[in-house]
Structure 1
Amino acid sequence: MRNKFVTTSIFSLLFCISIFAQDKEKNDTEKLPEALEIEEVTEIREPINPLSPAKAAFYSAVLPGLGQAYNKKYWKIPIVYVAIGTGVYFYLNNNKEYNRYRDAYKSRLAGFTNDEFYLDGQGNQLSTPRVSDDGLLRAQKLFRRNKELSLLVTIGIYALNIIDANVDAHLLQYNVDENLSLAPHYKLNQIDATGNLGLTLNFKF
């Protein structure tokens, strides 16, 4: 009788352990996260053209604004032409004034008194010129300096037009997509079936 009781107790204990183990296995299975599905996105980018900046600079050198059109920065074209046109206008205006005073001065050196500064508003001859010889010299120096300054400014604007096209072509080829340099990631730990959340930083030279 005693042996039967011991045998029954042992079988009962083994049955309980088996049920407990199955419950634990079932609970562990339920805790496992579902398989992660990561959608792979492939973005096709245009290949980098190393000659593009040189082309843009060459086009702007041949015709101001053409490099900006090559870079598809059309809004910059009017700015280029207004800036260059303003410089050319001041150069031509100063050159015209310089030639006026220079011609009058040359005429007086030749002994003539019929230059435009010897005439009044109605075209009548004056006994005393409206601008003296020293005034003609000072005016020539002033307008010659302004003419040279206008020429330098125009050349500078033309050079900036070329540099702008070149720099824009360089910047257009830079990859500034933040997802490629800094992105979060989720990784499933195969040992304890837990998820790890992290941040990945990619830096390439």
Structure 2
Amino acid sequence: MIKWWVFILFLMGSFASVFAQEIPADLKVSKVDTTFVEDEINILAPSKAAFYSAVFPGLGQIYNKKYWKTPIVWGAIGTGVYFYVDNNNKYNRYRDAFKLELTGRPHEFDGTGENPQLTQASLERAQTFYKKNRDLSLFITIGIYILNIIEANVDAHLPDKALNTNISFNPTIFNMPVTSQAAFGATVSFNF
């Protein structure tokens, strides 16, 4: 348990060191021309969006005005947290029963109550199973948290005005230079 806390503190410290770095002088905006505010791109927006998402998941998406993404982030992280807590509770139940089985004392899986009787090997397999699921849930939740930060940062880098949505599809018939036979092909062009 202590190594998990050390790992989490290490992650938080590394995120803090990334966000605490000073912005170079050539990137700082000293004067903003307010006459053409629509055409200006805020160069600090990606770091703000990432910081907001790191502080509270989904806040970077709200900062980017992509409100529809916030419930997806909350649902994904909430699902991961739910499975972590559920698997941790089951792991603790089977671990406690396993410890009591080793000492010969009664426990919830000894066959006297509603639960079936489980052997010592079954209790050991069950706690191993739920421990693996708990750890997997934790890693997936941390991965979703990191993806939330990355998504907010990338989305802030790509404002809607900077994207050209004029993508064309032009099917053509052309001659193959080697065989002189007609062939059908398609071209897709992207303009940047």
Q: TM-score, normalised by structure 2?
A: 0.63
Q: How many angstroms apart in 2 are the aligned matches of 1:178 and 1:74?
A: 21
Partner residue in 1 for 2:151? 164
Partner residue in 2 for 1:134? 121
Is the 2:45–2:156 Cα contact (8 Å) retained in structure 1? yes
By relative contact order (CA 8 Å, sep 6+), the higher-ranking structure is: 1
Please state whether the residue corresponding to 1:117 is helix, strand or coil. coil
Structure 2 residue corresponding to 1:65, chosen from 47, 58, 61: 58
Partner residue in 2 for 1:155? 142
The runs of 5 or more residues in structure 2 that have no matched partner are 1-34, 167-190
Q: How many angstroms apart in 2 are the aligned matches of 1:81 and 1:157?
A: 10
Structure 1's 107 and 65: CA in aligned 2 closer, same or farther, altered over 3 A?
A: same
Structure 1 residue corresponding to 2:109, chosen from 112, 117, 126: 117
Query: Aligned pair count?
Result: 134
Residues 23-58 of structure 1: per-residue CA shift (max 9 Å, x gap): xxxxxxxxxxxxxxxxxxx97634222111000000
Partner residue in 1 for 2:6? none
Is the 1:84–1:157 Cα contact (8 Å) retained in structure 2? yes
1:49 aligns to 2:42 (yes or no): yes
- Give the aligned residue type for 1:160: L
What stretches of structure 1 move > 6 A for 4+ residues in a row? none
Structure 1 residue corresponding to 2:81, chosen from 82, 88, 93: 88
Q: TM-score, normalised by structure 1?
A: 0.59
Is the 1:87–1:154 Cα contact (8 Å) retained in structure 2? yes
Please report how far the alpha carbon of residue 109 of structure 1 lies from its aligned counterpart in structure 2 after TM superposition: 1.9
Q: CA RMSD in A?
A: 2.6
Structure 1's 163 and 115: CA in aligned 2 closer, same or farther, altered over 3 A?
A: same
- Give the aligned residue type for 1:53: P
Structure with higher Rg: it is 1
Partner residue in 2 for 1:14? none
Please state whether the residue corresponding to 1:118 is helix, strand or coil. coil
